[in-house]
Amino acid sequence: MKYTENYQIEFKDCDENRRLKLPALVELMMQVSEHQLSQGGAGTDDLIKRGLGWVVTQYHFEINDLPKPGNQVILSTEASGYNRFFEYRDFGISTEAGEPLVTVKSQWVMLDLKKRHLVPADAEMMENWGVPLLKKMPRFPRLRAQADYPKIRPYRARYDDLDTNHHVTNSHYFSWFIDMLDRDFLSENMVTTIDIKFDQEVHYGESINSCMKLVEDDNVTTYHAIEAEDGTVKAVCELKWRKL
């Protein structure tokens, strides 16, 4: 069942170019899904009592436009399916008239917060929500780290970067990605497609490198990775851009 709620974009949600920031976009997605899940006994507080937490493994974004401060939008989310270990959820941001601005597909797992390992999907919970059992896994683009990244910058996971699963929240990865790009580039370009795959958690105090490769051909694409100090890949991402 699709869940929707109205939201007014605030100045705090936007960058200096008056466009919705990517971390804020992801936080709005988490907000609307939490509101829906909490109504059905599957929100953060409910899962913590069971020692469990939702963890995203992959996103695919299609962005037609990014709203500006004062815009009234409709946030939407829907659990679209599950199989033995994965749950799938769709998100959307549209205008008041129903015109799609952002559509997102995502893949999730349930994590045992103490043992830090995956647990099978809760079939009873999925059935209570009316979520269909999928015979085939939805396809996401295959993402791999690049052989080399010309631009690398170190960061440290801070306390304020963490979520209730006790690792860096997925919205903060986008801050690490965007910070690799020049201010002029960000004022002249807007992201149109995002694919990101999370491979390993980043924990409090951990030092990581944000890596980027920019390729300009018919389209502009930036390739990103978050790597541990020993080179272990924590996440990979591809952003496609268009000139404004």
Would you state the pLDDT for residue 52?
Answer: 92
The tokens for 7 are 């939201």
Instruction: Tell me the three state secondary structure of residue 184.
Output: helix
Say if CB 192 and CB 101 are below 8 A apart: no
Q: In this predicted model, what pLDDT tens digit does every residue of 140-160 receive, in sequence order?
A: 999 999 999 999 999 999 999
Q: What is the pLDDT along the chain (244 residues), one digit of tens a residue?
A: 899 999 999 999 999 999 999 999 999 999 999 999 998 888 889 999 999 999 999 999 999 999 999 999 999 999 999 999 999 999 999 999 999 999 999 999 999 989 999 999 989 889 888 899 999 989 999 999 999 999 999 999 999 999 999 999 999 999 999 999 999 999 999 999 999 999 999 999 999 999 999 999 888 999 999 999 999 999 999 999 999 9
Say if CB 15 and CB 25 are below 8 A apart: no
Domains of the chain by start residue, with CATH: 3-129 (3.10.129.10), 151-243 (3.10.129.10)
Would you state the pLDDT for residue 142?
Answer: 94
The whole model's pTM is what? Answer: 0.94
- Give Cα separations from 20 to 63, 73, 98, 105, 189 (angstroms): 11, 12, 18, 19, 13
The tokens for 154 are 């170190």
For residues 158 and 52, give the distance between their C-alpha atoms in angstroms, rounded to a whole number.
23
- Give the DSSP letter of residue 38: H
Q: Count Cβ atoms below 10 Å from residue 92 Cβ, excluding itself.
A: 20
Pick from 26, 35, 16: nearest CA to 61: 26
